[in-house]
Structure 1
C-alpha cells in the first residue's frame, strides 16, 4: 500500500519558526534519528513513527553519518523509507546530516578535515538515496584542524548544491563567532547551531553561545532537550529499576549521571509539570522553546507513544515568568555541565 500523507498535516497544532535571520522555517519539534533508528529498528516501526510525525507537521528529520548503531544504519533505514514512501514529499522535508565524529578506521574517518567532511557527505547522500541535504553540519569543533579548512569544506558542499544550508554543532562561543565569520567571508551564511540544551544543561546560556547566535542571526536547534531521558519522567528518587532505559545500556546515558541531587531536582520538576497538567517531557520541551533564540527542539524517541507525548507540548507551550522562576529554582541543585570538552 502506497503511503499518502495526511491532508491535515499543516492544519493541526504544529508551529513553525524562522531559523535565525533566514527565510527557512523549522517545526518547533524536529525528529532526530540517532541510536533509536539503527540496526535494531525494523522497517514497519520506523515507517510508523516517521509517517506519524510527518502527518502531524514534523517536517525536519535530523541524522548524522555515524548514527546507528552500527554507524550508517540510521541513514540507510531513513533512505529506505524515503525510497518506498516519502519520495513524493521530498520538497516538503528538511533533511539534515553531519560529519565530525568517528565513522571509519584510520586517520581520515574522524574530526574536521576537508577530506573527511567531503567524503562523509558523499557517503551519506548515497546511503539516504537523496541528491542534496537541506542542512549539513560540522558535528563538532575540531581543535586539531584549522577552522578555515572545516568551514571551507562546508562552503564547498554549499557551492556544489549538495547542501542548501550549512551549520555547526557543539561549538563554544568563541569558535561559533569565528566559524560564522569565516563562512561569511566565503559568501556562505551559517544557518544554524545545534547544541545540547535542557532545563538541567544550560551551558549555551552561561558561556555566551546563545547570545552570540542571536547577535549573529544564527538559529538554534536544541538536541537532548530531555537530557538524554533524565527529564522523561522515567527516573526519580523513588525508582531504582533502570531496566529498559538508556541508563541501563550505559551508552548514551551513563547511570552515574543519575546522582541523588539530579533526581531530587527531577522530582521537584515533576510536581511543577503535574500542576500544569503536563507530562515531564512536555514541561521540558516547553522550557527549551520559551526562548525566542531557539528555533526547534530536537527529540529522540523509541516508541510511537513517546512521540505522541512530545507532540502534546503543542497544547501548552506558554510559560509565565513566575513558572520559569519556579522551574529554575527547582532545577538549581541538579544542573549538569555538558559543555564541549567536558
Structure 2
C-alpha cells in the first residue's frame, strides 16, 4: 500500500528557527544512526519513519557512516524516499555528514576537501537525492586547515548539493573560527550538532552554547538521552539489544559508572512528579534552552518513538525543577568533551 501522509501532521509539532537563519526544525528530529542499518527491514523502517512524519517530524538526520555497515542507513532511507516519501520531499529536511572513516586509503577520513566532497556525492547517490538540506563537517580535523574544510562546505552550497551547512562536535574556539571563515566566503554556519544532555553538559562548560547564541548558529542536540542511559533501562539491567551490548562499542564505560546510574535513579522521582517518563524529562531539559533548535532522537521501535513524542505534552521546566535536576545529577555528570581531533572523551 502506498504511504499517504496524515493531513493533520502539522497540528501538534512545534518548530523553532535554527539560529538567525530562515530554517525551522521540529522540536524533535529523528536520527538514523544505529537503528536503520543492514539488519532493519523495509516494513519496520517505514513504520517508524512514516509515523514520525505523520507526527510532524520533518527532519531526518543521517551520515555517510551510519549503519552498520557504513552507508546502509542512507541506502535504506533512499529506498524509503523512492517508494513512499518522494511526494513529500519539499516538506522534509534531510541532513548528512562526513568526517569519520568510510573507505580505505588516505582520502576516506577526516576533513579534507577531497574526502568531504567525494563523500557528499556518494551520500546523494545512496539516497537518490539531488541535494541534501544540511551537510555537516562531522568532526573537527586538527591536521587539515580549517579553511580547506570550510571551503568544501561552501562549495557544497554553491554547487547546489547542500542548502545549508553546519558543524558537529566542534569546540567553542573552532566553532567561532569555522563561522568566521564561512562568513568570509559568503556562506552561513546554520547549525551545530553537539552531544548534549542532563548528564553531558560540555557545551555549557566550554562556552560553545553561548558562542552559537552570539553568532546566530542553531543547535541540534544529539544523544539527549546520553546513549539511552537517561531512559533508565540500564538501571533496570535491560541491556539486550541496546548500546550496552558487548558487541556495540558506542556506549562508553563513563556512561554507566555507578555514580552516573545513581544520578539517573535520582531523576526518576522528578520525572514521576511531572507525570513524565524519564525520556520525556530528559528531552524537556535539553529543549529548555532557547539556543537549542531541536533534540535529535534515535529509536529502535515505534513504542520508543511515541514515548519521545510525549515530551510535547509537557515541555516547561520551572526554576525549582531545574534546581532539583542539578542537585540530583551533581555527582553523576559525565566528563565528556571533544578533544582537538573531535573525539569525545
TM class by smaller structure: over 0.9
The aligned residue for residue 133 of structure 1 is 132
Residue aligning to 1:233: 232
Once the two structures are superposed, residues 215-260 of structure 1 have per-residue CA deviations (whole angstroms, 9 ceiling, x without a partner) of 0000000000000000012022xx3453332102342113563111
Q: Is the 8 A contact 2:94 2:134 kept in 1?
A: yes
Q: Gaps (5+ residues) in structure 2?
A: 340-344
Structure 1 position 301, deviation (Å): 0.5
Deviation per CA, 1:9-28, whole angstroms, max 9, x where unpaired? 011x2100000001110000
Distance 2:280 2:256 in 1: 20
The match for 2:342 is none
1:339 is matched with which residue?
A: 337
* 3-state SS, counterpart of residue 101 of structure 1: coil
CA RMSD of aligned residues (A): 0.9
What pairs with 1:298-337 in structure 2 (closer than 5 Å)?
298-337=296-335
- Asked if 1:177 is matched to 2:164, the reply is no
Residues 94 and 135, structure 1, Cα contact 8 Å, conserved in 2: yes
Deviation of the 1:337 alpha carbon: 1.6
Q: Aligned partners of 2:34, 2:225: CA distance in 1, in Å? A: 15
The one-character-per-residue Cα deviations of 1:137-191 (angstroms, maximum 9, x if unpaired) are: 0000000000000000000000001000000000000000000000000000000
Report whether the alignment pairs 1:243 with 2:240: yes
Whole-Å Cα distance in 1 between the matches of residues 258 and 127 of structure 2? 42
- Structure-to-structure mapping, 1:200-215, within 5 angstroms: 200-215=199-214
Name the counterpart of 2:5. Answer: 5
User: Which whole-Å CA distance do the structure 1 matches of 2:316 and 2:266 have between them?
Assistant: 19
Cα distance in 1 for partners of 2:37, 2:15 equals 28
For 2:325 and 2:222, the matched residues in 1 are separated by: 20
Q: Deviations over 1:278-321 (max 9, x none)?
A: 00000000000000000000000001000000000000000001
Kept after mapping to 2: 8 A contact 1:247/1:255: no
Number of positions where the alignment pairs a residue of Structure 1 with one of Structure 2 = 339
Partner Cα distance (1:324, 1:240) in 2? 27
Offset of residue 36 of structure 1: 0.4
Q: Is the 8 A contact 1:285 1:297 kept in 2?
A: yes
Aligned to 1:164: 163
Question: Helix, strand or coil for the counterpart of 1:98?
Answer: strand
Quickly say closer, same or farther: Cα 1:243–1:177, change in 2 above 3 A: same
Secondary structure, aligned partner of 1:164: strand
For 2:250, the equivalent position in structure 1 comes to 252
Aligned counterparts of 1:217 and 1:37: Cα–Cα separation in 2:
32
Which segments of 5 or more consecutive residues in structure 1 lack a partner in the other structure? Answer: none
The SS at the match of 2:94 is strand
Match in the other structure for 2:17: 18
- 1:248, 1:255 within 8 Å by CA — same for their partners in 2? no
Q: Equivalents in 2 of 1:296, 1:211: separation in Å?
A: 16
Q: Which runs of 4+ in 1 moved over 6 A?
A: none
**Is 1:97 aligned to residue 96 of structure 2?**
yes
Residue of structure 2 in register with 1:278 after alignment:
276
SS in 1 for 2:322: helix
Q: Distance in 2 between matches of 1:71 and 1:314?
A: 33
Q: Does structure 1 conserve the Cα–Cα contact (< 8 Å) formed by 2:226 and 2:255?
A: no
- Check whether the contact 1:49–1:307 (CA below 8 A) recurs between aligned residues: yes
- Aligned partners of 1:304, 1:251: CA distance in 2, in Å? 24
- Asked whether the 8 Å contact 2:16–2:27 carries over to 1, the reply is yes
TM-score using structure 1 length: 0.98
Q: Could you tell which deviates more after superposition, 112-121 or 246-255?
A: 246-255
